[in-house]
Amino acid sequence: MAVNLFSPAADDLKPVSGVRLGVAKANIRKPDRKDLLIIAFGHDATVSGVFTKNRFCAAPVQICREHLEQTRKDNLPVRALLVNTGNANAGTGERGYEDAMSTCMMLAALLSCKAEQVMPFSTGVILEPLPVDRIIAGMPFAMDDLDENNWLNAAEAIMTTDTLPKAASRTVQIDGKTITITGMSKGAGMIKPNMATMLGFMATDAKVPQDLLDVMLKKAADASFNCITVDGDTSTNDSFVLIASGAVDVGIKNAQSSALAVLQDAITSLAQELAQKIVRDGEGATKFMTITVDGGASVEDCRTIAYSVAHSPLVKTAFYASDPNLGRILAAIGYADIEDLDVSQLNLYLDDVWVAKDGGRNPDYREEDGQRVMQQSEITIRISLAHGDATATVWTCDFSHDYVSINADYRS
Amino acid sequence: MAVNLFSPAADDLKPVSGVRLGVAKANIRKPDRKDLLIIAFGHDATVSGVFTKNRFCAAPVQICREHLEQTRKDNLPVRALLVNTGNANAGTGERGYEDAMSTCMMLAALLSCKAEQVMPFSTGVILEPLPVDRIIAGMPFAMDDLDENNWLNAAEAIMTTDTLPKAASRTVQIDGKTITITGMSKGAGMIKPNMATMLGFMATDAKVPQDLLDVMLKKAADASFNCITVDGDTSTNDSFVLIASGAVDVGIKNAQSSALAVLQDAITSLAQELAQKIVRDGEGATKFMTITVDGGASVEDCRTIAYSVAHSPLVKTAFYASDPNLGRILAAIGYADIEDLDVSQLNLYLDDVWVAKDGGRNPDYREEDGQRVMQQSEITIRISLAHGDATATVWTCDFSHDYVSINADYRS
């Protein structure tokens, strides 16, 4: 069902010097399935992370935040990420916290570092205890598998209801040196990231000081994973991590470094591709929709309207049906409840088709034109407010029978 | 598909002295369908209305507001409501306004009153011009049909995707006099009323001064139509109107009148029944869910959490599947983004089953107990916050394959 989403080939994914990935089948939820991933890197790496704003955040998210803070305080590098699928370790209370800490301690022992230098990630079913023994038993196998050239296996190991692995690479030339960025993401349902998506991991071999990496990650997240929604459900486990291995020094010293802007563009571009892959693989998705709101009083207003349209089950089912029942979009704009919004100046376009003009049906709009666009697999909805200069874009997908089937059957 | 919803018999619906209803088949969207309704009443009636907060509100909603204001300014009674189905007259711009005004003027001519004494209501497809000629042509037939004993026909005439007419009566004894209240509602999709539902009309024969009727309506709406959601889509046309015909004087003079409290209880109770009927007939609904949040810091917080759970497509599909995948409820509570919410003190109950205790899985919870409750057609989800004394309740339904089918096929 994925919309124009294709699995990358193993050699599409460029290794990132200094970043090794190892995968194992740990039987966490289902047998004979890659479900455990270790990403390990050297002492020169800097790591930034952003996490879900869901107040019911999972134990691993809480520990990630603590470990990031602690390692900075202690001036120790983060050495590894530990990822499991099949179980989210969320809604598991104090025991969930202890379980996640146990896995960090074990991996730290294998890496000869402290537990705080390991960041744990879990994704899967909520409210069930983490099978710690199986995770620990799987770790040596994942350690044995560590390899810089292992991104495709890793992308497969983090899949849950995803139908395809999601990963991509970029290379940029800076001062005659080649910088590589490779990343992967997972997620198909419970997707309305608020700070980061289900899981997204990116690595570059560039050397980037910690404070600049933090800003770089935040900018990339705001322009990518924070602009997508499948079903409006912000997960308990959303995490997006950027690793700079430090293998290649291109002179990024401060915010004024010219190399920084080049790297930022490539990082953001890759993050957008990975974020959009999640939407393309949205549970039951048959259409990929770009919702752009311009002429708003603020970016926040534009985002609110775009999300209101993107979350409307009525809009999403109309797109599924290729039915240009576009009044549903107007209704969703209206209930976004934007202060002082003058709907009599609003214009609505479906790709190149001008549907609503000055708040009413465009007299020149013909249903067959709307119908033509609705039948495409990629559609841009543009809402023009004549209310200011701000703009925002959100990517989403439609709502199909398969969404219901997938989510009514997920645990079985 | 409706959940424990049954059509009333004609004689279940008590006539309200002074309030006559007339129905016609005006071919507004489909042939041979009751689609036009006139509710007419005498000079002694007081009328209150609350309307959608959707900024893309329909032309008739705008006119209702204006006419209510104008008649009060001119000290003229509202004389009639004019309702059509099949076309919402929303997203229709200036022309939509003129179209709705034309229909008011014609009915005013038939009733020998001013246009401002007529309140227009439309429900149906958005963004298509109102077929004014057919509505005007149907009016004489609806006028001929005017009768106090005509509520069931009227309830049928306001149906769109509703599978059954929704109407009920209450009688209360006040000072030895019998007061009757009868009402009807319609709606099944695009339901997340903000101020009032799709359409709700209630009438009582009690004499109630205008200012007291306004308060009574607001109280009833806040405890009924403003507590339901099917899909989170706030309609462009939501309207809820209460008519007090003035036929029976039970001494309601001011806010201290003892009769007022008795009448308020009956009005609120009927409004709740009518609101719940909309949820029971929610598009594709197979389960009726009551979501109660207690122990909150404020009613607003409780409502925010209840709606967050009620709108989660993942929660709704899990209920459809009778799958106690209850971690999805915790996730939805978490992303409701309540300030200072301590999830480690949160408890979750499914009817009598204690599912989550102190923010984690209740050690005594057994999956088969959750399963047993999930298979019921009526389920109460109770979320206990230990955060304060406030409480709120929201009624909603599940999300099924039929919701998608109904909304993917609605216009065809």
For A:59-88, CB contacts with B below 8 A are 88
User: Which amino acid is it at A319?
Assistant: F
* B311, B331, B399 member nearest A235 (Cβ): B331
Residue B135 domain-assigned?
yes
Summarize pLDDT for A256-296 with one digit per residue, the tens: 999 999 999 999 999 899 888 888 888 888 999 999 999 99
Q: Considering only residues 119 to 148 of chain A, which have any Cβ-Cβ distance to chain B shorter than 8 Å? A: 125-129
CATH for B231? 3.60.70.12
Cβ-Cβ contacts under 8 Å, B234 against chain A: 331, 334-335
The model's pLDDT over A59-98, given as tens digits with 9 standing for 90+, comes to: 999 999 999 999 999 999 999 999 999 999 988 888 999 9
In order of B19, B25, B155, B272, the CA distances from B201 in angstroms are: 12, 20, 9, 13
Q: Does residue A168 belong to any structural domain of this protein? A: yes
Question: CA-to-CA distance for B352 and A402, rounded, in angstroms?
Answer: 32
Identify the band that residue A196 occupies on the pLDDT scale cut at 50, 70 and 90.
Answer: very low
Q: What is the pLDDT of residue B195?
A: 36
Most A-contacting residue of B126, B130, B353 (CB-CB within 10 A), to test interface: B126
Judged by a CB distance cut-off of 8 A, whether residue A234 touches chain B is: yes
Considering only residues B130 and B409, tell me which one the structure prediction assigns the higher pLDDT: B130
Tell me what the mean pLDDT of segment A131-152 comes to: 97
Q: Taking 60 as the threshold, does the pLDDT of residue A189 lie above it?
A: yes
Does residue B378 fall inside a structural domain?
yes
Q: Cβ of B93 and A330 within 8 Å?
A: no
Q: What is the pLDDT of residue A275?
A: 85
Instruction: Let me know whether B57 and B107 are in one domain.
Output: yes
- Asked if residue B195 and residue B263 are part of one domain, the reply reads yes
Average pLDDT over residues A150-160: 94
Q: Which pLDDT value is given to residue A127?
A: 84
| Facing B91 at nearest CB: one of A54, A236, A330 | A330
Residues near A133 by Cβ (< 8 Å), separated by ≥ 6?
Answer: none
Q: Would an 8 Å CB–CB cutoff place A347 in contact with chain B?
A: no
Within-domain flag for B114:
yes
Instruction: Say how many Å lie between the first and final Cα of chain A, rounded.
Output: 20
Which amino acid, residue B247? A
Average the pLDDT over A137-163 and give the result. Answer: 94
- Give the distance from residue A199's alpha carbon to the nearest chain B alpha carbon, in angstroms: 16
The two three-digit tokens of residue B332, written as one number? 């939805």
The pLDDT of residue A231 is: 73
Closest-CA distance of chain B to residue A19, Å: 33
Closest-CA distance, A136 to chain B, in angstroms, reads 23
- Provide the CATH number for the domain around residue A298: 3.10.20.340
Residue B4 lies in a domain: no
B161 touches chain A (CB under 8 A): no
The whole-model pTM stands at 0.81
pLDDT of residue A410 exceeding 60, the answer is no
Q: What is the pLDDT of residues B170-201, one digit of tens each?
A: 999 998 999 999 988 888 766 655 433 468 88
User: Does the beta-carbon distance from B335 to A411 stay under 8 Å?
Assistant: no
Is residue A379 assigned to a domain?
A: yes
How does pLDDT run across A96-130, given as a tens digit for each residue?
Answer: 999 999 999 999 999 999 999 999 999 888 888 99
- The answer to whether residue B343 neighbours chain A at the CB level (below 8 Å) is yes
Chain B hits for A90, Cβ within 8 Å: 327, 330-331
Q: Which residues of A are catalytic?
A: 197
Burial class (CB in 10 A: 0-12, 13-18, 19+), B149: middle
> Chain B contact for A190, CB < 8 A?
yes
- Concatenating the DSSP letter of every residue in B81-120 gives EEEEEEE---SBHHHHHHHHHHHHHHHHHHHTS-GGGEEE
Give the pLDDT of residue B253.
92
How near does any CA of chain A get to the CA of B376, in Å? 16
Q: What is the mean pLDDT of residues B252-278?
A: 91
For chain A, say whether B313 makes contact (Cβ under 8 Å). yes
Check whether residue A183 and residue A244 sit in a common domain.
Answer: yes
Q: Does residue A118 contact residue A64 with C-beta atoms inside 8 Å?
A: no
Q: Which of residues 2-61 of B touch A (CB under 8 A)?
A: 52-57
Spatial contact of A405 and A325, defined as CB atoms under 8 Å apart: no
Model confidence over B75-124: pLDDT tens digits? 999 999 999 999 999 888 889 999 999 999 999 999 999 999 999 999 98
Q: Lowest-confidence range among A52-56, A142-146, A361-365?
A: A52-56
With cut-offs at 50, 70 and 90, classify the pLDDT of residue A235.
Answer: low
Residues A369, A254: one domain? no
- pLDDT per residue as tens digits for the range B376-412: 999 999 999 988 999 999 999 999 988 888 878 655 4
Domain boundary among A280, A296, A327: A280
Of A231, A326, A337, which has the smallest distance from its Cβ to B313's Cβ?
A: A231
Does residue B213 share a domain with residue B116? yes
CA distance B201 to chain A (A): 22
Segments forming the whole domain that contains residue A156: 10-280
**Could you tell me if A241 and A292 lie in one domain?**
no
Q: Is A362 near chain B, with CB under 8 Å?
A: no
How many Å apart are CA A406 and CA A180, to the nearest integer?
A: 36
Tell me which of A257, A280, A303 is where a domain ends: A280
Residue of A nearest to B408 (CA): A321
| ipTM of predicted complex | 0.74
Q: b/e map of A248-257 (b: 16 or more CB within 10 Å)?
A: bebebeeeeb
Q: Are residues A264 and A292 in the same domain?
A: no
Residues A252 and A365 in one domain: no
A295 and A184 within one domain: no
For residue B231, pLDDT over 90 is answered with: no
If you average pLDDT over residues A183-206, what whole number do you get? Answer: 72
H or E stretch covering A286: none
Of B125, B194, B121, nearest in space to B158 by CA: B121
The reply to whether A229 and A318 lie within a common domain is: no
Which pLDDT score, from 0 to 100, does residue A195 have? 36
B89 domain-assigned: yes
Same domain, A254 and A172: yes
Among A233, A286, A311, pick the best mutation site for testing chain B contact (most B Cβ within 10 A). A233
Q: Does residue A181 have a pLDDT over 80? A: yes
Q: Does residue A114 fall inside a structural domain?
A: yes
CB-CB under 8 Å, B356 with A314: no
pLDDT at A192 over 70: no
Q: What is the DSSP secondary structure assignment for residue A67, as one 8-state letter?
A: H
Answer whether residue B313 shows pLDDT above 50.
yes
Helices B210-222 and B258-280: angle between axes, nearest 10 degrees: 40
| In the predicted structure, residue A169 carries a pLDDT above the cut 80 | yes
User: How many folded domains does chain A comprise?
Assistant: 2
pLDDT band per the 50, 70, 90 thresholds, residue B365: very high
Give the domain-ending residue among B248, B280, B312. Answer: B280
pLDDT category, A253, cuts 50, 70, 90? very high
- Label residues B314-345 b or e (16+ Cβ within 10 Å = b): bbbbbbbbbbbbbbbbbbbbbbbebeebebee
Q: A295 and A273, same structural domain? A: no
Q: What is the mean pLDDT of chain A?
A: 90
Active-site positions of B? 197
DSSP A227: G
> If DSSP codes are grouped into helix, strand and coil, which group holds residue B201?
strand
B94 and A CB contact within 8 Å: yes
Question: Residue A193 pLDDT > 70, yes or no?
Answer: no
Cα–Cα distance for residue pair A313/B317, rounded to 1 Å: 13
The proportion of chain A whose per-residue pLDDT surpasses 70, expressed as a percent, equals 95
